Amino acid sequence: MALTEHVIMRELDVPNIADFNVYLQHDGYVAYRKALTEMKPNEIVQIVSDAGLRGRGGAGFPTGRKWSFLPRGVYPRYLLCNCDESEPGTFNNHQIIDLNPHQLIEGVALSAFAIEAEVAYIYCRGEFATAVNTLEHAIEQAYAAGFLGKNILGTGVNIDMYVHRGAGAYICGEETALMESLEGKIGQPRNKPPFPAVEGLYRKPTIINNVETLANVPPIVLKGVDWYRSYGTQQSPGTKVFSLSGHVNRPGNYELPFGVTLRELIYSPEYGGGMHGDRPVKIIIPGGASAPWLIDKHLDTPLDYESVAAAGSMLGSGAVMVMNDTVSAPHLAYKMDEFFKHESCGKCTPCREGTHWLVKVLHRFAEEGHGRAEDIPVLHSIYRQMQGNCFCLLGESAVMPIKSALALFPEEFEAYVARAASNGHDGQNGSAKGKPVIALQQR
C-alpha cells in the first residue's frame, strides 16, 4: 500500500521542502494563485466537498459540509487552524509544521479565501515553541512574497494570518474552548448551539479545522477530486498521517491511504515493523486516548472512519497506540484517566469530580495494591454517572479507558482484588497490613 507520492508528508518526496524556495519550485502556491485569480470561493468549497475531505481533528466531519454552514452574508468571518495537538499519542501536526510548513500556510490561506475570511489564526499548543517560530518565519515569507496581506496578487483579496501560542491545556483543542482562549479568556468550552460556523470567535461566523485537514486543501485544489479520491475508501477518501506509538519496533508518523489495516500498519516492515520482542498485541487504541480500546482480534480492521467505528472504536486523530501483554489494563486505564483528570477544565461536575474519583480508585488498584471487590461496582457507577452527562467531549472521553478496561479485562480487576486480599489489605489508605503490590505482570 506504500505511497509513491505523498499528499501531506511531501518531505519524503521532495527533500528540503520546508525551504520556501524549494516549496515554490515544487508546485508551492500554484493552487493558491490559481484559486485567487481564476476561481470563486464557493468553487473551492465545492471541490473540497466533492473530494470528500474529512476533518482530521477527531470527528472526521466532512470539511466541505462544515464550510457550507456559514450563514450567508455575515462578515467578518474567521478561520482557525487547530494546532493544539494535545491528544495523547498524536504527533503528526507538529511534524507537518517542522517538515512541510508552507503547505500548511498555503492550505490555511486557500481555505480562508474559500470561506471568505480575511483573518486566520493558527492556534498552537503552548509547548510548540519551535513550531511557532517555524510558522512565524513561514508566514513572514508568505507576506514577503505577496501571498498574504492586503490586495493579494492584485486580486483585491485580503488575508492576514497570525500564530497564537496557547498555554498548554488539552481542553483548548476543543473548538469552542480554543476560541475562548484566543479571546483571552480562560480556556473552557462553550455551549453549543450556537455552533462556531454561526457564532464563533468574537461571536462571528468561524470555521475551525485541524492542521492536517487544511494541509490537504492545496493538493486537492491543484490535482483535483479524482486524483484525491484515488486514495482511500469511498467514504474516507485520501490519505491519513497515522501516528503510530507503543510497543512497536518502528514508532512514527506514516502517511497511508485510509483503509490500510491495523495489521499492516503495525507489522509491515516499512511501517511499524512488528511488535517489540515479538510479544503479542494486547490493546490497540486506534484514535488517541479518547478512543475505546481494541484488542488483537481487531488487527484486520481497516483504518477508515467507518470500519473503526464498526469495530466499536473511533479513528479519532489517527493516533494508533499499541500495547503488548506486559501492560496491565487497570494500570493503563489509570494512566489514561490520570491524563483526563489532569486536563479536565472543571467546568462541569461529572468530569471534574468523576475523573478525580476514578483516578483515586484506579490508583488504589494499580499503584497501591489495595483494590477491593466493592470498588469494581463503584468504578462502573462512576463512569456511568459521567457518561452522557458531561458538558463536552473531554469528560465523555475519560469514560472510554475505564469502560474499555472493565469490559475487556474484568478478570484483571478481580485479580488485583484477590491479590490485595491475599496480602492482607483491607483497602483502607495507609492501613495496609502488608506491602503494596506493585509488580503486576511479568515484564
Q: How far is the CB of 292 from ligand SF4 (least distance, A)?
A: 17
Residue in the structure block whose three cell numbers are 494486547: 282
397 interacts with ligand SF4 by CB under 6 A: no
- Separation of alpha carbons 181 and 199, rounded Å: 15
208 interacts with ligand FMN by CB under 6 A: yes
- Separation of alpha carbons 221 and 49, rounded Å: 11
C-alpha closest to that of 83 among 56, 53, 54: 56
Among 392, 399, 402, 406, which residue interacts with ligand SF4 (rule: CB under 6 A)?
392
Q: Which is nearer to other proteins, 331 or 347 (CB)?
A: 347
Q: How far is the CB of 348 from other proteins (least distance, A)?
A: 5
C-alpha closest to that of 207 among 318, 113, 106, 139: 113
Task: Check: CB of residue 300 under 8 Å from CB of residue 262.
Answer: yes
Q: Which listed range, 19-27, 179-187, 218-226, 385-393, lies at the site for ligand SF4 (CB under 6 A)?
A: 385-393
200 interacts with ligand SF4 by CB under 6 A: no
- Separation of alpha carbons 179 and 77, rounded Å: 13
85 interacts with ligand FMN by CB under 6 A: yes
Number of H helices and number of E strands within the chain?
18, 10
Task: Check: CB of residue 176 under 8 Å from CB of residue 130.
Answer: no
Cα distance from N-terminal residue to C-terminal residue, the chain = 34
Q: Give the containing element (helix H, strand E) for 224.
A: none
394 interacts with ligand FMN by CB under 6 A: yes
Q: How far is the CB of 113 from ligand FMN (least distance, A)?
A: 17
51 interacts with ligand SF4 by CB under 6 A: no
Q: Which does 378 bind (CB under 5 to 8 A by kind): other proteins, ligand SF4, ligand FMN, none?
A: other proteins
Q: Which is nearer to ligand FMN, 174 or 180 (CB)?
A: 174
Task: Check: CB of residue 196 under 8 Å from CB of residue 185.
Answer: no
59 interacts with ligand FMN by CB under 6 A: yes
Residues making contact with other proteins (CB under 8 A): 169, 171, 186, 191, 341-350, 352-357, 360, 378, 381, 384-386, 388-391, 429
Q: List, as one string, the DSSP characters of 332-394.
A: HHHHHHHHHHHH--S-SHHHHHHHHHHHHHHHIIIII----TTHHHHHHHHHHHHTTTSSSHH
* Number of residues counted as binding ligand SF4 (CB under 6 A): 14
Q: Which is nearer to other proteins, 204 or 356 (CB)?
A: 356
Among 44, 321, 379, 394, which residue interacts with ligand SF4 (rule: CB under 6 A)?
394
Strands, DSSP E only, in 129-198? 149-152, 157-165
174 interacts with ligand FMN by CB under 6 A: yes
Task: Check the CA dihedral 106-111-116-120 and report its sign.
Answer: negative
Q: Rounded to 10 degrees, what is the CA torsion of 135, 140, 144, 147?
A: 40
Q: Which listed range, 50-58, 100-108, 142-150, 358-366, lies at the site for ligand FMN (CB under 6 A)?
A: 50-58
Q: How far is the CB of 207 from ligand SF4 (least distance, A)?
A: 22
Task: Check: CB of residue 376 under 8 Å from CB of residue 413.
Answer: yes
Q: How far is the CB of 195 from ligand SF4 (least distance, A)?
A: 16
Q: How far is the CB of 162 from ligand FMN (least distance, A)?
A: 17
Q: Which listed range, 81-89, 266-274, 354-362, 434-442, lies at the site for ligand FMN (CB under 6 A)?
A: 81-89
Q: Which listed range, 151-159, 276-284, 310-318, 345-353, lies at the site for ligand SF4 (CB under 6 A)?
A: 345-353
Residue in the structure block whose three cell numbers are 480492521: 301
87 interacts with ligand FMN by CB under 6 A: yes
The phi, psi pair for 319, rounded to 5°, reads -90, 110
Binding-site string for ligand FMN from residue 217 to residue 256, where x marks contact by CB under 6 A and - marks none: ----------------------------------------
Angle at alpha carbon of residue 407, lines to 289 and 91, rounded to 5°: 10
Q: Give the containing element (helix H, strand E) for 75.
A: none
Q: How far is the CB of 336 from ligand SF4 (least distance, A)?
A: 15
Site residues, ligand SF4 (CB under 6 A): 171, 189, 344-348, 351-352, 390-392, 394-395
Site residues, ligand FMN (CB under 6 A): 55-59, 61, 63, 66, 82, 84-87, 170-171, 173-175, 208-210, 213, 392-394
